[in-house]
Amino acid sequence: MGAHASTAVADPVAGGLTDADVMLRVKAGDDSAFDYLVQKYRRQIINFMYRMAHNSAAAEDLAQEVFLRVYRSRANYEPSAKFTTWLYRIATNLGVNYARDTRHERPENVMNLDEPDSETGQAQDLADKTPSVEEEILRRERLAAIKARVEAL
């Protein structure tokens, strides 16, 4: 029987390592350290992306892209800030890009008030913007008061 690499990811925190230390191990080529970070933050990043995308499938895809970018950026990683700050900055940037790129897409259940109803062909029944009787009386009283003050000058 040949020796096989362990599929279980060791817990670097048990060894006293911070996430930044673990990321430095990723930078040095330790793929098990990367697996540890993915396992540790995957659910949190998916939830974060869901709050931005409002779509489970998109949140999963975006979270996967976050970790892909973390892995691709490993050579440039510098622990000048907390690892989570860096991780969530990547996630935020992806979420903002996603929102920008999908903002033209309109959910089917959103009603456009500028278009006639698709079933009746009539304009939507919107609130009347003409002033109420009370508002009209107040407007006239204000105008009369302003006019009286101007004439008194």
Question: Is the pLDDT confidence value at 108 over 80?
Answer: no
> What would the mean pLDDT of 95-124 be, rounded to a whole number?
70
Share of the chain above pLDDT 90, in %: 51
Q: Which fold has domain 12-102?
A: Rna Polymerase Sigma Factor; Chain: A (1.10.1740)
Residue 99 contacts by C-beta under 8 Å, 6 or more apart in sequence?
Answer: 52, 53
pLDDT band at 145; cut points 50, 70, 90: confident
Domain extent listing, the chain: 12-102
The pLDDT tens digits of the residues spanning 49-64 come to 999 999 999 999 999 9
Which class for 40: exposed (0-12), middle (13-18), buried (19 or more C-beta within 10 A)? middle
